[in-house]
A and B are shown apart, each in its own frame.
Chain A
Amino acid sequence: MDSDNNSTFISTPLAIVLGSFVIAVAILISGGVIQLQGVKTLGAQASPLPQVGASPLPQAEEPAGPMEVSLDDDPVMGDKNAPLTMVEFSDYECPFCKRYFDQTLPEIKKDYVDSGKLKIVFRDLPLSFHDPMATTEAIAANCAREQGGDSKYFQFHDEMFKRTTSNGDGLDRAEIDKIAADVGLNASNFKTCLDTEKYKDEVSKDLADASNVGADGTPTFFIGKSEAGNKITGTKLVGAQPYSAFKTILDGIK
């Protein structure tokens, strides 16, 4: 091959590679702009109510090891004195959260929660691109909790995950009201609670905490030993991982 052919041989694929790299960078830059807007709207989109963290939520610098995560005053599934704790950041409109709920949670519940080894703290991370329904559903679950505590919260939570088809339009207001009636909530009180977005601040607080611990997708889990002081130092696990991933981490906690 002469030098011209040699040059073409290398330069053509290289041009494609460089071209794709330029496209990647361009998309990333535009993505950054979109994300800035997206972060601003986290917990605030389509709502006139006050919010926590109105400015872009800062991405926390993540430590290499386990991270300290607050349990806040959020609903707890299982024995509150269980030796292990898992904090779940979730979005009722996220299809991967639904998949985790359908496929993995039942096994974790059977083997760890029901036996008193683990408690699961559910925290809201309604993603802005699933709003307004994601935030509405998160508020609705908190309205259910107001009427019947954690037990009613998880009844409502279970029904929403069972019935939603996800991706931002999995449920509508009529279906949420129907779920409220089906789990035995006082319809009038529930309607007032949801219409006034009574727990909007609570949901926004969860969003801010999620951002502080680097939970930027759903579902994200933090798994660790239960500690005093309403927090855990947990291992971060991202995605609808299989039961074996949770089991490995839970069994490996020393």
Chain B
Amino acid sequence: MKFLLTALSVSLFYILLNVYISNYQVINQAFLGDFTFEYRSALMFSLIQGLTTALSATSLIFLMIISVLTGLNSAMLIKKVNKGGGVHLMFGGSMLGTLGSGCVSCGLPLLGVLGMSGSIAYLPFKGLEFSVLSAGLLLISFYLLLRNSKKECVIKSS
């Protein structure tokens, strides 16, 4: 249960991160400025709703897949950390996913933040490469974590 809650929380956080990256100026303005709770919540709700209008169907599907995989990977790693495995962060695959998904305009928000917006459009699949690569890496990562997690249960006979 705790595992699922962690996975769900991280997945939601990942989706919100994509929303924020796409429109961080207006969100910052709403939350740092003199605006009501109703304004802030209406704005956030409409921007989340905007994922369905401002993304292509493929981008939206990959965003969902990557967010779920990020959540699952994170929950697995947190579980491991809690068992004393040390602190390790799993950002690479998700970072790629953030680059490739969340393209709410012709030009990528995160690459825009990095001053590189537009470059993605020169790729053959207009940035879908990032999403596919990201989903693949996260899938492999999750598989390995799962496999190793099972190994952990093996009791060696002396």
Contacts and interface: CB of A to CB of B under 8 A. Distances in A.
Interface of A: 1-2, 5-6, 8-10, 12-14, 16-21, 23-24, 27-28, 31-32, 34-35, 38-39, 59, 62, 64-67, 91, 94-97, 99, 103-104, 127-130, 214, 216-220, 235-242, 244-245, 247-249, 252
Contact of A127 (B50, B53, B118, B149): B118
Main secondary structure of the interface of A (DSSP, over half): helix
A64 B145 contact: no
Given A127-B107, A239-B54, A17 B122 contact: no
B6 interface: no
Contact of B148 (A12, A28, A35, A218): A12
B118 A129 contact: yes
Contact of B108 (A8, A217, A218, A244): A217
A129 B124 CA distance: 12
Given A24-B96, A240-B53, A248 B42 contact: yes
B47 A39 contact: no
A64 B24 CA distance: 9
Nearest to A31: B119
B144 A13 contact: yes
B88 interface: yes
Contacts of A17: 88-93, 141
Interface of B: 22-23, 25-26, 28-29, 32-33, 35, 39, 42-43, 45-47, 49-50, 52-54, 56, 73, 77, 80, 85-86, 88-93, 95-96, 99, 104-109, 111-112, 114-122, 130, 133-134, 137, 140-141, 144-145, 148-149, 151-152, 154, 156
B45 to A, nearest CB: 7
Contacts of A99: 53-54
Contact of A242 (B23, B50, B77): B50
Contacts of B26: 235-237, 249
Given A99-B53, A238-B22, A10 B80 contact: yes
B95 to A, nearest CB: 5
A51 B156 CA distance: 74
